[in-house]
Amino acid sequence: MIAPRRFGMVLLLGLFLSAPAAFCNQAGQLPGSSVAPNIVERIDITGNYHFGDEEIKKQMVLEEKRWYHLFQKKRRITERLLQFEAASIDSFYHSQGYLKATSTVEAEPGSREDRVPLQVVIYEGPQTSIEEIKLIGDIGEFSDRVWKNFKTIMPGSPLDRTALRQVALGIKEIYADHGYPHAEVQVGVETSEDFRSATVAFSIDPGKLVHFGRLEIIGLDKTHDDVARREVTFKEGEIYRRRKIIDSQQYLYSTGLFSYVSLSPMEASPDPLRADMLLTVGERKSNYVNLKLGAGQDYERDLTFETSVAWGNRNIWRRGHRLSLSFSSGFQIIPDWDNYRNRFSVSYLWPWWILPRTPLSLDFTYEPGKLPLHRDYVYDDFSASFGLSRELHRVYFVGLTYQYEHIHVHDIPEDQQATFRAEEEIKVRRKLIVNLSKDSRSNIFTPSGGSLTNFSIEYVGGFLGGDIDLLKYEFSWARYNRWFLGGVLATRIKGSLVTEFGDTEVEEVPSEDRLFLGGAYTIRGYREATLGPVYTGANTDDSTLYGDPVGGKVLAVGNIEFRKNLFWRLGGQLFLDVGNLWYEAEHINLEDLRLTGGVGIVFFTPVGPLRFDYARRIITAGDSSGGRFHLSILYAF
């Protein structure tokens, strides 16, 4: 006889084991199958006369068995899922004007119990095309803006009811952006008897002109009320504009103070012609601590270990000012373990300095006891940076930065510091940098549209002081376009120039101020910073420099890349890189250009794409042939 306690345990175990099977049956498991199949053996399609099998399969979630399905979670094929597949195919046909199209997706017995072929049967029916578009109502001054919305549904194009709704929504947004948030747009469709053509009519009722009312804010605890209000781009009494609501939300997010922002009209307003607005925010924690560990690369060292710890407060005095304190260390790993750098940093950001949304950034860095490679002296390096930046118009930005540096060499009297620095080629740099940019990219990590343009001028020395007198110019332009097969065609051109003036005209430009080229982000197929002129002799201490990169003053790069998402979190790319580096402008020769090409695999992570590229040298201009692998984070541009 089984003890009551043991019997209860057996009963509970039996119920637990039987629960999944019961759940599967309730979820729509295919009838007549003891095990829910999860592998599609093949997909057979009939009735599709206007679209090929592959186009139909693209509309489906289920796929025929492929080797890469090892990386994907297997799906149970249920009746509900098959109905969803049929609805997806129907939706595709309806978007192409086949309003009467219907389809069925059924599973059949397969070669094994856990495998199943799918049978897709389609009735296409006639295709309906738009014959005429009518606008009904007084559209007045918005006529040109309204007609620009009809690019996707011009006469002769297939009738797509989803596209019609999108056009109607676009018209409503136009009116909402010009003071008519209650505008109504009705869409009427009249088809011919044979469903071959249709007349589409948009009826527009703009409603009454509305102005912004008062603003109420909910959720502020750590932040002053006026800090949130100053980011709102509209004032009470202004004409209602939807664009200003969107801009206000973006500005509020950009402060870094809020994890949640919602700005919308209040549901109940005493005056229907004045939209009272409600701003609801969720505040982030003011204090934070960051700890970072990882490998890196120093200018003089191939492999380093970097560690840093930082404390910060993003809402000083409840005014949105930011303060951060950090300490970082750098350790040489190869050939010997050595702590070659320690750095203390203080950063302060004043978000509105003199002008609205013109942040002033102050950065101070102190590096005590810096130990240069192959040198027998130690020095302290202090630097300060003062920067201003401003958004000119949504995608246009301008920045101005001044950088100050002071170096003190240990065990050298103050009156001999300048002489010693000159002998040891220790250069103090003081800079003024102007940067102009336009950034209309759809996404900063994986852009599929838009462009990024940067132009900067760096003035070093001169009236600023320091030991180096230089001008550096840099221009880059990158464009991203949707291309065939759903991929993205990315192109970039980049050029840089260094010119000397003052005392630097009669001296050699230090290597730290020269340009370098080659590697995962410029010309793949070459090691990092190895393109261009190289040393052909020995150093003053008899250490050989033969073949090491010299750097240059003129740089030109061109890249073209086709990017395509493949499956799961993997993507692929094909690319061509061209360019070179010259020491002087008079040395420029198009015959020196290097051309490389290759392929890459991309793994998409939450912090951006991780690339593994292989490039071959195509035009070497005298260099050795061959190729190189590159492992890097983010796209090359």
* pLDDT single digits (tens) 483-530: 988 899 999 999 999 999 987 776 788 888 999 999 999 999 999 888
Q: What is the pTM of this model?
A: 0.76
25 pLDDT higher than 50: no
Q: DSSP letter at 268?
A: S
**Helix pair angle (79-95, 161-176), 10° resolution:** 70
Determine the pLDDT at residue 47. 95
Residues 295-353 pLDDT 10s:
765 556 667 788 999 999 999 999 999 999 999 998 888 777 878 889 999 999 999 99
72 pLDDT higher than 80: no
| Edge-to-edge order in the sheet of strand 274-283 | 211-218, 274-283, 258-265
Determine the pLDDT at residue 38. 67
Which numeric CATH code is attached to 4-123? 3.10.20.310
Determine the pLDDT at residue 232. 96
Distance CA 16, CA 368 (A): 65
How is the chain split into domains, by residue range?
A: 4-123, 129-205, 211-283
User: Beta strand pairing status for 450-460 and 431-439?
Assistant: antiparallel
User: Which of 426-440, 468-482, 539-553, 565-579 is least confident?
Assistant: 539-553
Is residue 289 within 8 Å of 225, Cβ to Cβ?
Answer: no
Residues 243-287 pLDDT 10s:
999 999 999 999 999 999 999 999 877 888 999 999 999 999 999
480 pLDDT higher than 90: yes
Same fold flag, 4-123 and 129-205? yes
Determine the pLDDT at residue 77. 85
The pLDDT confidence band at residue 4, using thresholds 50, 70 and 90, is: very low
106 pLDDT higher than 70: yes
Determine the pLDDT at residue 542. 44
Fold of 129-205: Ubiquitin-like (UB roll) (3.10.20)
Which of 235, 239, 237, 242 has its CA nearest to residue 263?
242
* CATH 3.90.79.10 is right for the domain spanning 211-283: no
9 pLDDT higher than 60: no
Determine the pLDDT at residue 111. 63
Residues 403-438 pLDDT 10s:
999 999 988 888 888 888 877 778 899 999 999 999
29 pLDDT higher than 60: no
53 pLDDT higher than 90: yes
Where does 110-165 show beta strands of DSSP type E? 115-123, 129-136
Distance CA 86, CA 92 (A): 10
Residues 601-630 pLDDT 10s:
999 998 889 999 999 999 999 888 999 999
Burial of 246-285, coded b for 16+ CB within 10 Å and e otherwise, reads ebbbebbeebebbeebebebeeeeeeeebbbbebebebbe
Is residue 382 within 8 Å of 403, Cβ to Cβ?
Answer: no
Distance CA 612, CA 636 (A): 11
Determine the pLDDT at residue 6. 41
